Amino acid sequence: MEIRPFTIAVPQPDVDDLKVRLARTRWPDELPGIGWSRGVSLEFLKELVAYWAGSYDWRAAEARLNEYPQFTTEIDGQRIHFLHVRSGNPDALPLVLTHGYPSAFAEFTTLIEHLRQDFHVVVPSLPGFAFSTPVGEAGWAMGRTARAWIELMRRLGYARYGVHGGDIGAGVSGAVAGLDGEHVVGVHAVTDPNTAAATATFLPGMADRLDPADPVDQLALERMAQFRADGSGYLAIQNTRPQTIGYLLNDSPAGQLGWIAESFERWTDLPYDREQLLTIASLYWFTGSGISAARFLYEQAHSSEWGAPPAVPQGFAVFSADATVRKLINPPAEVHWTEYGRGGHFPAMEAPEMLAADLRVFFGGLK
């Protein structure tokens, strides 16, 4: 039950070891002219690794993260790390922000600055990510995580709160709302056409709901097929053999960076902060959480628990929106629905002002 203050303090030998390993990266060759068609471009990753080893300042990033109050507590046998940024407004609504994959709590630091006047912001690290490690047993998927978040908010003394997330975070938030409708005032999620298609690929019966004769449904089916053919390689590995990829992720920082940087390059539409990406990569590296984060996807792929439909108000912010998203999401008739012409999988990093504005509008009507 104890909630303990937490400060990030990576030992200097670990920082020095990272630089040595980056300098000793054994680079593969690359076929002429393939670019990004078969994975991360060699030129791109070499440049990013050189910046991580040379210009990037972990101690400065660590100090910035430590400006946010951080804590740990044990729930259901698992250490849970979280930020808890209280608003100066006594009437502020508590709001839980849950990150996805491949990300970490640091994704939300810029967004927090836009929210802290209106919300008490709680940002947990998913089990197996960053400082919510180590994971001591199997079974930590979205449902069990949702129950942990409910207990966390109870321990913090919040009787009414909102939940928000994207990717895995959207699933966890929806499960929290489905399990704790007595206390959750609303659930808000972000998505985009590619994320919606990827999610729909794994939802039972989704393809059967779409009519190939309908042009919009046909486009949605094509997006799902494209994801299966060209975008699902990382999931195929992590959903089946996370231990095998874990040896690479835990031993090679260049390998860890390439594994997550591909998603940031392919899944974003607007520019993101390279320093923020490297902070997230550093959190994976210093905590050795590459393998446990990969296992989270395995656990969910082998879980039968996807959560009950929330019985609370729902809101969606859709980035780079097109007509396929609403078909794939299939929201209830009464829903807060906002579409933006730009943005991608990481709107908290790509478009924090737009996302913050939508969160204020949605939850502002629920206080």
**pTM attached to this predicted model:** 0.97
User: What band does 205 get if pLDDT is binned at 50, 70 and 90?
Assistant: confident
Comparing CA positions, the residue from 204, 203, 224 lying closest to residue 212 is 224
| pLDDT surpasses 80 at 367 | no
118-130 pLDDT, tens per residue? 999 999 999 999 9
pLDDT tens, 339-352? 999 999 999 999 99
pLDDT-above-90 percentage for the chain:
94
CA 367 – CA 91 distance, rounded (Å): 9
Token pair in block for residue 282:
């550093």
Q: Determine the average pLDDT of the residues in 73-89.
A: 97
Nearest Cα to 253, choosing from 71, 100, 25, 59? 25
Q: How many CA atoms lie within 13 A of 194 on its CB side?
A: 16
Measure CA 143 to chain center: 16
- The pLDDT of residue 212 is above 90: yes
Reported as type and span, the H/E element at residue 324 is helix 323-329
pLDDT confidence of residue 206: 75
Q: What is the mean pLDDT of residues 261-266?
A: 96
Superfamily (CATH H level) for 3-22+37-364 = Alpha/Beta hydrolase fold, catalytic domain (3.40.50.1820)
pLDDT exceeds cutoff 80 at 207: no
**Which residues are paired to 187 by β-bridges?**
163, 314
**Could you tell me the pLDDT band of residue 108, with boundaries at 50, 70 and 90?**
very high
Q: What is the pLDDT of residue 183?
A: 98
CA distance 296 to 292: 6
Q: What pLDDT score was predicted for residue 309?
A: 83
Please check the confidence at residue 209 and state whether its pLDDT lies above 90.
Answer: no
| H/E run at residue 333 | none
* Per-residue pLDDT at 106 exceeds 80: yes
Looking at residue 74, its pLDDT comes to: 98
Average pLDDT, the chain: 96
Measure the CA angle with vertex 295, ends 232 and 154; round to 5°: 115
Q: Which amino acid is at 365?
A: G
Residue 21 has pLDDT above 90, yes or no: yes
pLDDT of 213 reads: 95
User: Distance between CA 125 and CA 303 in Å, rounded?
Assistant: 20
Residues present in the chain in total: 367
- The pLDDT of residue 143: 96
Choose the weakest-confidence range: 175-189, 197-211, 248-262.
197-211
pLDDT at position 90: 85
Q: Is the pLDDT of residue 305 over 90?
A: no
pLDDT at 169: 97
